[in-house]
Amino acid sequence: MADIKQIQFGNRLRRIDRVHRSLAAGYVTTVDESGLIVARPERKGSHQIARSLFFCLLILMAFKAVLYAKIGDESYRESILMLQNGTVVEQFGAYVMTADPVTVRASRIIGGALQ
C-alpha cells in the first residue's frame, strides 16, 4: 500500500517538474470559461527563424551598400570580377555581393551621409 502511494507521489512530482520546465521557457496566461487564470507554454513558431533570416539579409544589404558607397562603382565591379574568376566559394560570394538596384540606391543615400 505504501509503495503504491510512493509511486503515485513520484509520478505527480515528475508531472509537476515537466510542466514547470515547459513554463520556464515562456508562458501565456488566459482565462478559461470558468474564470480561472491558466498559464500555458508559449508557442515558439517558425516566425523566429524568419525574423532571424530577415535581419541577416538586412545586414548583408547594408554591408553591400556601405561597401559600394565607400569604394565606388568601378572598384566594386573590379572586386566582383576578381571574385568571379576565383574558387567556387568566391564565385558564390561574387553572386551574393553583385550590386542590385536596392544596393545602388541605398549606397547613394549612405554615400551622402558618409561625406
DSSP string, 6-51: HHHHHHHHHHHHHHHHHHHT-EEEEE-TTS-EEEEEPP--THHHHH
Model pLDDT, residue 89: 95
Q: Indicate the number of domains in the chain.
A: 2
Contact predicate 45/81, CB 8 Å: no
Instruction: Give yes or no: residues 20 and 54 share one domain.
Output: no
Model pLDDT, residue 111: 82
**53-84: b (≥16 Cβ within 10 Å) or e:** eeeeeeeeeeebbbbbbeeeeeebeeeeeebe
Q: What is the CA radius of gyration of the chain?
A: 28
Instruction: Give yes or no: residues 36 and 51 share one domain.
Output: no
Residue 27: give the domain boundaries: 2-41
pLDDT in tens, the chain (115 residues): 668 999 999 999 999 999 888 888 888 899 999 999 998 888 776 678 888 999 999 999 999 999 999 998 899 999 999 999 999 999 999 999 998 999 999 998 888 777 6
Instruction: Give yes or no: residues 66 and 17 share one domain.
Output: no
| CA separation for the pair 65, 16 (Å, rounded) | 53
